């Protein structure tokens, strides 16, 4: 792929601000980071919300407020999480999808032991409902893949009509309890994908750079941001803007182009921001 989509995962649901003070928490902070990342090359922003205690929440009003602020500032593609609070019910995890109709949203394609915290629960019943809600609202699923079996799950849902082709995959590598963040695993997972699929990848923590380099080299798209990694280099705290800017430089050094939001909409087959 000559044009590489950079996704900025700005916040996440877990990492506290005292670990990295640059993590945006409020709608205003998240929207400002989204805008600054867009200016340096992010075509997509992946958004979680935090409550007043800094914990992940699926509060629809917070999503609505943040999305409105982002749209006032720029045309970046908005990708909303559906897994920002493990206390939330199935209905709470997807209520904002119908209310906001983002262009993209995450579809975590299976359950596993997210060590050492507990079970990351994505039941077949939830995934079927989520897929149908996304189709009804013309939302493109980002199929988050933590291990190889989840690719087979998505193939089942594609055949069943719960997901629509062509699919877009996001490889999440380095979570304890799922696939390790190695180039070998990335190559293996990529080779399992349907031929018409698009894909992106990222590594957690210190694995972010090897997976970033490999994804660019293998023709994929990339994700960076403080949700996944709080350091720019050893002992140097990152900002979302720093991580996006570096990804953009690496894309260009590889002889490729940084995709614009308009490019991303075309590559991913999105309906547009309206």
pLDDT of 273 strictly over 80: no
pLDDT in tens, 48-73: 999 999 999 999 999 999 999 999 99
Is the full-model pTM beyond 0.95?
A: yes
- Taking only the tens place, the pLDDT of each residue in 69-104 is 999 999 999 999 999 898 999 999 999 999 999 999
Looking at residue 60, its pLDDT comes to: 98
User: Does residue 141 form part of some domain?
Assistant: yes
pLDDT (tens digit per residue) in 205-240: 999 999 999 999 999 999 999 999 999 999 999 999
Per residue in 110-123, pLDDT (tens digit) is: 999 999 989 999 99
117 inside domain: yes
Give the closest residue to 81 by CA, choosing from 166, 148, 11, 171. Answer: 11
For strand 77-80 and strand 56-57, is the pairing parallel, antiparallel, or unpaired? unpaired
Residue 244, SS3?
A: helix
In total, the chain counts a number of residues equal to 274
Contacts with 106 (C-beta within 8 Å, 6 or more apart), sequence order: 46, 79, 80, 81, 82, 83, 141, 142, 144, 170
CATH of the domain at 179: 3.20.20.70
Count of structural domains, the chain: 1
Q: What is the mean pLDDT of residues 184-191?
A: 98
25 is a domain residue = yes
- 274 belongs to a structural domain: no
Q: What range defines the domain where residue 252 resides?
A: 3-268
Q: What pLDDT does 272 receive?
A: 82
The number of helix segments (H) and strand segments (E) in the chain equals 9, 16
In a domain, 164, yes or no: yes
Residue 273 inside a domain? The answer is no
CA 95 vs CA 77, 136, 153: distances in Å: 20, 13, 23
């Amino acid at each position: 792929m000559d044009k590489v989509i950079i996704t900025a995962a700005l916040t996440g649901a877990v990492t506290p601000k005292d670990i990295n003070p640059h993590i945006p928490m409020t709608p205003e902070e998240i929207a400002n980071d989204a805008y600054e990342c867009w200016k340096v090359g992010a075509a997509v922003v992946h958004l979680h919300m935090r409550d007043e205690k800094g914990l992940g929440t699926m509060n629809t009003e917070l999503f609505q407020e943040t999305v409105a602020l982002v749209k006032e500032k720029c045309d970046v593609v908005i990708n909303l999480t559906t897994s920002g609070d493990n206390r939330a019910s199935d209905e709470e995890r997807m209520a904002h999808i119908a209310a906001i109709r983002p262009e993209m949203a995450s579809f975590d394609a299976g359950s596993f032991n997210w060590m050492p915290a507990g079970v990351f629960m994505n039941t077949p019943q939830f995934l079927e409902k989520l897929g149908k809600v996304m189709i009804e609202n013309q939302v493109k699923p980002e199929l988050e893949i933590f291990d190889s079996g989840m690719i087979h799950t998505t193939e089942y849902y594609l055949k069943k009509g719960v997901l629509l082709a062509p699919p877009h995959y996001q490889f999440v590598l380095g979570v304890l309890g799922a696939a390790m963040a190695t180039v070998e695993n990335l190559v293996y997972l990529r080779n399992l994908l349907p031929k018409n699929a698009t894909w992106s990848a990222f590594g957690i923590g210190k694995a972010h750079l090897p997976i970033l380099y490999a994804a660019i080299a293998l023709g994929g798209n990339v994700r960076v941001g403080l949700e996944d990694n709080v350091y720019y280099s050893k002992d140097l705290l990152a900002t979302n803007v720093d991580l996006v800017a570096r990804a953009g430089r690496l894309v260009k050094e590889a002889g490729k182009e940084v995709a614009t939001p308009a490019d991303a909409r075309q590559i991913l087959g999105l309906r547009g921001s309206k």
